[in-house]
């Protein structure tokens, strides 16, 4: 695909700016500022367009009938080809304005923005769609705006519809769509326009868990061939997707660096904003390990009996609706989670012993079959999982028509509130060299509802937590 250079600048040096753009740099933002004129009354807008000229003509002091709001002030950065860059910041920090400048829907008040390549963006909900047009008509209109010809849209139209998965609503006006349908269709379009640069602005927050997983898989695949600019309030998503990040605060670039460093600094800042002057927090540059630590023996019986009764973990069988791939050699028949007595249960509390059973059937002879699973959070991050290879040796050998049953016994972790999914697979070979015969994304959906706060990606049941006041040094001396 041929690339193109687009330059959005406040001066007349467009040609020189375009010529100066390094071929490895796909986005170059140079000292960009954007100001908006804010009027208190509609009449002030008319006065501003007429009175200053008259006042200037008669030599009077020019009066302004508006006040200025600087959405961006002197922002500069470069993004190289193939990078994934996150942008974080509170509401009103200038993130959306910056993205609109990069996409060319706004012009800067000062400075220049240079883009080298075809850019596709998913900005605010419904942007670029005509609410009176049907979904089909909006697909063609949106894809045309993004640079595709009629023939190119025809060739990928069915793929777009399959990705969006909104059924017969594709022939209905988008004004009757839910917010989730808007995002499904908009993301499906930008996923099939072969863009060099993809811009995502917090739009996936309204998607359901299964669709978000699909989008995250696409974004991970896109990172391998294109440049990603990702805006999110979720710092874990930025860390998960991006190598570097930019922190905007009141229109100013406050920090640039690795995604981890910027996200940590931003979280610390947000926490301090919430606490105010009541609590002062600081970053811990060095963590001391091993001080005052004590390991106590755990009773197996006590461990099995410790269950958080204020939490519900609900499971839904989603095999019939999950996507993935499979070969003609073997397939997954069922996935069940039960208690240790083998009784199927769909509601758990977290912290109890459970047994996960995966049943597969072979259609051809399979040597060294492997059954495995892993649990992902809403962003597609793998939280935990296991497979049979290291536990079942020597390797089995099966014939066509054999039934394989794998059983995994473990303690169900304590998961924070949210939606999760389980990916399961049957493979042949070993963990380093294998063929995935049946891979099922989202085979089981997990919904966690808790009245208690959990911290981290995966929690663990604690055996004991205590706190007491200890005597001071002087008191101990006495």
87-110: burial string, b at 16+ Cβ within 10 Å, e else: bbbeeebbbbbbbbbbbeebebbb
53-73: burial string, b at 16+ Cβ within 10 Å, e else: eeeeeeeeeeeebeeeeebbb
pLDDT, one tens digit per residue, over 230-259 is 888 777 778 878 889 999 999 999 999 988
d(CA 362, CA 194): 38
CATH number listed for the domain at residues 5-118+195-273:
3.40.50.300
The residue ranking higher by pLDDT, 86 or 264, is 86
Please identify, in words, the CATH class of the domain defined by 309-450.
mainly beta
pLDDT, one tens digit per residue, over 339-354 is 888 887 777 777 788 8
d(CA 145, CA 139): 10
For residue 260, what are the contacts with CB-CB under 8 A and spacing of at least 6?
A: 239
pLDDT, one tens digit per residue, over 279-290 is 455 454 443 333
Ranges assigned E (strand) in 215-309: 227-231, 244-249, 252-258
| pLDDT bracket for residue 57 (50, 70, 90) | confident
Can you say whether residue 396 is alpha, beta or left, with left for phi > 0 and alpha for psi between -120 and 50 degrees? beta
d(CA 231, CA 237): 9
Q: Inform me whether the pLDDT recorded for 403 exceeds 90.
A: yes
Task: Provide mean pLDDT across the span 248-272.
Answer: 85
* Domain ranges within the chain, ordered by starting residue: 5-118+195-273, 309-450
Window from 56-65, 263-272, 311-320, 389-398 with minimum mean pLDDT? 311-320
Q: Strand, coil or helix: what is 456?
A: coil
């Amino acid at each position: 695909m041929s690339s193109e250079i687009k330059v959005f600048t406040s001066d007349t040096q467009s040609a020189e700016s375009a010529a100066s753009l390094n071929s490895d740099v796909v986005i170059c933002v140079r000292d960009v500022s954007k100001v908006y004129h804010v009027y208190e009354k509609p009449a002030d807008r008319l006065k501003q367009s007429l009175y200053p000229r008259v006042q200037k003509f008669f030599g009077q002091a020019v009066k302004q009938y508006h006040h200025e709001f600087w959405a961006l002030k002197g922002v500069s950065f470069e993004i190289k080809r193939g990078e994934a860059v996150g942008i974080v910041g509170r509401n009103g920090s200038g993130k959306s304005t910056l993205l609109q400048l990069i996409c060319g829907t706004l012009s800067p008040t000062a400075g220049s923005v240079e883009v080298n390549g075809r850019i596709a963006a998913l900005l605010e909900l419904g942007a670029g769609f005509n609410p009176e047009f049907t979904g089909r008509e909006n697909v063609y209109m949106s894809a045309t705006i993004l640079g595709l010809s009629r023939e190119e849209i025809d060739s990928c139209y069915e793929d777009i519809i399959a990705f969006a998965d909104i059924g017969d609503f594709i022939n209905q006006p988008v004004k009757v769509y839910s917010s989730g349908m808007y995002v499904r269709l908009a993301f499906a379009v930008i996923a099939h326009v072969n863009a060099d640069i993809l811009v995502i602005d917090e739009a996936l927050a309204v998607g359901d868990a299964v669709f978000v997983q699909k989008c995250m898989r696409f974004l991970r695949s896109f990172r391998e061939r294109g440049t990603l600019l990702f805006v999110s309030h979720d710092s874990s998503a930025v860390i998960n997707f991006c190598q570097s990040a930019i922190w905007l605060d009141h229109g100013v670039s406050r920090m640039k660096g690795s995604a981890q460093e910027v996200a940590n600094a931003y979280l610390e800042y947000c926490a301090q904003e919430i606490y105010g002057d009541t609590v002062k927090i600081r970053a811990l540059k060095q963590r001391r390990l091993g001080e005052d630590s004590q390991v106590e023996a755990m009773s197996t019986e006590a461990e099995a009996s410790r269950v958080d009764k204020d939490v519900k973990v609900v499971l839904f069988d989603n095999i019939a609706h999950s996507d993935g791939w499979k070969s003609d050699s073997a397939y997954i028949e069922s996935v069940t989670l039960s208690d240790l007595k083998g009784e199927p249960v769909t509601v758990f509390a977290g912290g109890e012993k459970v047994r996960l059973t995966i049943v597969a059937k072979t259609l051809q002879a399979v040597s060294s079959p492997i059954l495995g699973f892993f649990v992902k959070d809403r962003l597609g991050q793998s939280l935990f999982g296991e497979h049979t290879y290291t536990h079942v040796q020597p390797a089995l050998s099966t014939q066509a028509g054999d039934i394989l049953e794998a059983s995994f016994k473990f303690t169900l972790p304590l998961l924070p509130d949210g939606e999760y999914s389980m990916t399961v697979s049957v493979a042949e070979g070993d963990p380093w060299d294998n063929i995935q015969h049946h891979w099922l994304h989202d085979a089981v959906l997990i919904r966690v509802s808790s009245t208690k706060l959990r911290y981290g990606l995966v929690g663990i049941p604690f055996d004991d937590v205590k706190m007491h006041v200890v005597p001071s040094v002087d008191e101990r001396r006495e």
